[in-house]
Amino acid sequence: MEREVMEFDVVIVGGGPSGLSAAIRLKQLANEAGKNIEVCLIEKGSEVGAHILSGAVLEPRSLNELIPDWQERGAPLDTPVTADKFMFLTETGSFRMPTPPSMKNHGNYIISLGNFCRWLGERAEALGVEIYPGFPAAEVLYDDQGRVKGVATGDMGIGKDGVPTDQYMRGMELHAKQTIFAEGCRGHLTKTLFEKFDLREGKDPQTFAIGIKELWDIEPAKAKPGLAWHSVGWPLASDTYGGSFLYHLNGNQVAVGYVVGLDYSNPHLSPFEEFQRFKNHPSVRDTFIGGRRVSYGARALNEGGFQSVPKLTFPGGCLVGCTAGFLNVPKIKGTHTAMKSGMLAAEAIFEALDTMQAGDEPTSYASRLQDSWLWAELYKVRNIRPGFAKGLWLGLVHAAIDTYVFFGKAPWTLHHHADHESLKRASEAPKIDYPKPDGIVSFDRNSSVFLSGTNHEENQPAHLTLKDASIPISHNLALYDAPEQRYCPAGVYEIIHNDDGTDPRLQINAQNCVHCKTCDIKDPSQNIIWVSPEGGGGPNYPNM
């Protein structure tokens, strides 16, 4: 069956802060110039914001540039940060450390990034952007010269067996002069573009972390709206990068989360269980007592920074936001940089749109980016994250020297290794004995996933695909005790056996997937490939 084709000037893949900022900036420029351009944005979540999970403390720098009157327009930034605390935790105690300059949040806001994106989506639609939620871009389309000419949305109504059901609907082709990929961290189409156009050549590998988050309603007496609280130390071993965040919002809510660098080496480690343990630490447990957990989710984030940013443009389009990797790791912030990159891409494309042919490369985007505050910001902190490769203490000392002695201008750049290469053999790493959930502050995966509102059409091919179906048992189970059982925050991967313990097999509970992309990153032999499921499937985060 032929696919229907729709034509636009610009197609944007992904309705996060980067894609929405690109869409808004394009339309602003067109309106200022009295021109009409057709901009379409597609989003795989059931609505804009449904798949957005972040901390989040927003640095409003890009927002001030994009929509200077955001306050009058009702942007959902209602909790200014009033205090920062940076803590070191031991198993039973804690002490306060000096807040690093990058974690001082004066002038920033504690927000729900999902709700902020919903608001940006409304702004974009008011400017005339066509937004189609519930439509994943499943395939990049190329013209006969190999240039990107758009994307195709996924087919609907294909059964588990790969045969069309009576609900079958062919996907659509969205053609454009320029396609902007704004898929967020570990974009699955972006991965194919890296290969097609060698965009990562000469760059460091991208490195990642997994962030797991819950939202709690807490007792009013315990609320401290505006407090941004971070910790390092327990429960992670000092050779593992990571830490917690606890942000007090207005309305007696707390966003609590745990971030674990995916370069961890112990295959027995479970980021989910570390997070559950953390919430039982004496310095935070009481915050949750008498409260109610209202939401749960997880998402990968980039940690490679400056040295891992790929080539950003290719014939027919460009990469913006976390799919390229603009997160500032010491700040744990990527929203302002994602927005700025989207705005700069929009400016580069708009300037050239009249004269460019479909499939031309928007090259001025890269130079605009290198001339912007974003590039300078990432350059300055480029050595901080790789400085933690030898553990927490050396990392902290190195970070202090890099910040206070070299002011980010050290005459060297430290490098990264790919996260999937870092696991030790299971037999060489200590086992970790995680406590059972208490059902008050700590929970199991199933009840957690329930709170993410995750839903997938069950009768569809699994969107977690294996290049080689034998590797999970012959390689991953044999050498690493099947680490996917532990790093997946949604319990998607299970090793099952016959009743007598024989014949181990990998069971993939794809319907639980919260689209965090960790398996696609951490699988030691890069055997798991995440592809988009049917449109609208995945989490339905209300306000993460």
Q: Which residues does the annotation mark as catalytic? A: 54, 299, 335, 488, 513, 516, 519
- The answer to whether residue 514 forms part of the interface with ligand FAD (CB under 6 A) is no
Of the residues 25, 45, 204, 449, which one makes contact with ligand FAD according to CB under 6 A: 45
Per DSSP, the three-state class of 67 is: coil
Q: Which stretch binds ligand FAD (CB under 6 A): 41-49, 200-208, 233-241, 517-525?
A: 41-49
- The answer to whether residue 16 forms part of the interface with ligand FAD (CB under 6 A) is yes
**Residue 518 contacts which entry, ligand FAD, ligand SF4, none (Cβ below 5-8 A, type-dependent):** ligand SF4
> Please, which of residues 261-300 interact with ligand FAD by CB under 6 A?
299
- The answer to whether residue 54 forms part of the interface with ligand FAD (CB under 6 A) is yes
| CA dist., res. 387 & res. 368, Å (int) | 29
| CA dist., res. 44 & res. 395, Å (int) | 38
> Please, which of residues 91-120 interact with ligand FAD by CB under 6 A?
113
CA–chain centroid gap for 113, Å, is: 12
**Residue 492 contacts which entry, ligand SF4, ligand FAD, none (Cβ below 5-8 A, type-dependent):** ligand SF4
Of the residues 18, 62, 383, 511, which one makes contact with ligand FAD according to CB under 6 A: 18
- CB 209 to ligand FAD: min, Å: 8
Residue 103: φ, ψ to 5°: -105, 15
Residue pointed to by tokens 């339309």? 27
- CB 107 to ligand SF4: min, Å: 34
| CA dist., res. 210 & res. 230, Å (int) | 16
| CA dist., res. 512 & res. 515, Å (int) | 9
- The answer to whether residue 19 forms part of the interface with ligand FAD (CB under 6 A) is yes
**Residue 260 contacts which entry, ligand FAD, ligand SF4, none (Cβ below 5-8 A, type-dependent):** none
- CB 488 to ligand SF4: min, Å: 3
* Nearer Cβ to ligand SF4 (258/375): 258
Sequence-separated (6 or more) residues with CB below 8 Å from residue 31: 127
> Please, which of residues 300-319 interact with ligand FAD by CB under 6 A?
301
| CA dist., res. 448 & res. 250, Å (int) | 23
Per DSSP, the three-state class of 111 is: coil
- The answer to whether residue 332 forms part of the interface with ligand FAD (CB under 6 A) is yes
- Name the residue among 467, 462, 509, 465 with its Cα closest to residue 490: 509
What single-letter amino acid sits at 73? R
Q: Which stretch binds ligand FAD (CB under 6 A): 12-20, 28-36, 230-238, 471-479?
A: 12-20
- The answer to whether residue 42 forms part of the interface with ligand FAD (CB under 6 A) is yes
| CA dist., res. 176 & res. 362, Å (int) | 13
Residue pointed to by tokens 């070191």? 88
* Nearer Cβ to ligand FAD (322/482): 322
Written as six digits, the tokens of 523 are 């699988």
Of the residues 213, 340, 398, 445, which one makes contact with ligand FAD according to CB under 6 A: 213
What single-letter amino acid sits at 318? C
Per DSSP, the three-state class of 132 is: strand
* Nearer Cβ to ligand FAD (191/424): 191
- Name the residue among 211, 230, 16 with its Cα closest to residue 110: 230
What residues make contact with ligand SF4 under the rule CB under 6 A? Answer: 464, 488-490, 492, 513-519, 530
**Residue 327 contacts which entry, ligand FAD, ligand SF4, none (Cβ below 5-8 A, type-dependent):** ligand FAD
Q: Which stretch binds ligand FAD (CB under 6 A): 40-48, 79-87, 164-172, 272-280?
A: 40-48
**Residue 513 contacts which entry, ligand SF4, ligand FAD, none (Cβ below 5-8 A, type-dependent):** ligand SF4
Residue 126: φ, ψ to 5°: -65, -25
| CA dist., res. 267 & res. 96, Å (int) | 31
| CA dist., res. 199 & res. 193, Å (int) | 7
* Nearer Cβ to ligand SF4 (451/488): 488
Of the residues 333, 340, 382, 517, which one makes contact with ligand FAD according to CB under 6 A: 333
- Name the residue among 5, 3, 7, 16 with its Cα closest to residue 42: 16
Written as six digits, the tokens of 106 are 């004066």
| CA dist., res. 393 & res. 210, Å (int) | 21
| Residues within the interface to ligand FAD (CB under 6 A) | 13-19, 42-45, 51-58, 113, 136-137, 182-185, 187, 189, 211, 213, 257, 259, 299, 301, 321-323, 327, 332-336, 338, 532
